[in-house]
Amino acid sequence: AQSVAQPEDQVNVAEGNPLTVKCTYSVSGNPYLFWYVQYPNRGLQFLLKYITGDNLVKGSYGFEAEFNKSQTSFHLKKPSALVSDSALYFCAVRDDTGGFKTIFGAGTRLFVKA
Amino acid sequence: DADVTQTPRNRITKTGKRIMLECSQTKGHDRMYWYRQDPGLGLRLIYYSFDVKDINKGEISDGYSVSRQAQAKFSLSLESAIPNQTALYFCATSEQGSNEQYFGPGTRLTVT
């Protein structure tokens, strides 16, 4: 069965410092991995995805994520955090065995302090 | 995302009432989804549709029904609302074969 875990409910970082939001997953086949961001009173917005290829994926707003197959992880990163990055971040996974269902993590709240 | 709209944005209703949430999209996507979001639980899939004549249950469909009236419209109904259906509801769309989903702004439903 597919599953995704975001081990941190909240991540606090100072503006200008690098940030990491962690995600680990479990799927039967090869994973399709996603990150979404949710700002207050808004729906989820797609940030980036890993399907195949380079393990380092670049996305919107300067975010990137690194796929690590041996550790079954897909951590979200940004070299220099902005206060405006403060939001709720969701990791999601589906597999390539023909199923379409996407499983979302519980979410990690990122708080960037000025 | 203005391409996916949801009405109403907020709704307070009483136990036992029937309520319908509407979703419309201008993205031209075939696939549409309804999720609910609860704090600490992420998003859970209620129903999904890959075509106008296609309706499928998700992981938490009990107490809900849907209608896909046209490619652009997908409505969610609560036949007899109960307090534990208080949640934030999201509609989403995706292209056939594509992987990422596009979400509406959400409907905050409170059942008293």
Q: What pLDDT score was predicted for residue A93? A: 92
Interface of B with A (CB under 8 A): 1, 4, 31, 35, 40-45, 48, 58, 90, 92, 99-106
Q: How confident is the model at residue A112 (pLDDT cuts 50, 70, 90)?
A: very high
pLDDT at residue A4 above 90?
yes
Instruction: Evaluate the omega torsion of the peptide bond into residue A7 and state whether it is cis, within 30 degrees of 0.
Output: no
Q: What pLDDT score was predicted for residue A99? A: 66
Whether A45 and B100 lie within 8 Å, measured CB to CB: no
Dihedral (Cα; B49, B96, A92, A43), 10-degree rounding: -70
Distance, CA of B13 to CA of A108 (rounded, Å): 30
Whether A104 and B103 lie within 8 Å, measured CB to CB: no
Q: Which of A57, A89, A104 to mutate against chain B (most B CBs within 10 Å)?
A: A104
Q: Tell me the shortest Cα–Cα distance from A72 to chain B, in angstroms.
A: 19
List all residues 6 or more positions away from A53 whose beta carbon is below 8 Å from its beta carbon: none
Q: Tell me the shortest Cα–Cα distance from A67 to chain B, in angstroms.
A: 17
pLDDT at residue A1 above 80?
no
Q: What pLDDT score was predicted for residue A98? A: 61
Whether B4 and A43 lie within 8 Å, measured CB to CB: yes
pLDDT at residue A25 above 60?
yes
pLDDT tens-digit readout, A50-106: 998 899 999 999 999 999 999 999 999 999 999 999 999 999 998 776 667 889 999
Q: What pLDDT score was predicted for residue A101? A: 80
Distance, CA of B64 to CA of B86 (rounded, Å): 13
Q: What pLDDT score was predicted for residue B42? A: 86
Whether A46 and B41 lie within 8 Å, measured CB to CB: no
Q: How confident is the model at residue A28 (pLDDT cuts 50, 70, 90)?
A: confident
Q: What pLDDT score was predicted for residue B98? A: 65
Per-residue pLDDT of chain B (112 residues; tens, 9 = 90+): 469 999 999 999 999 999 999 999 999 999 999 999 998 888 999 999 999 989 999 989 999 999 998 999 999 999 999 999 999 999 999 987 767 999 999 999 999 9
pLDDT tens-digit readout, A37-46: 999 888 899 9
Distance, CA of B23 to CA of B46 (rounded, Å): 14
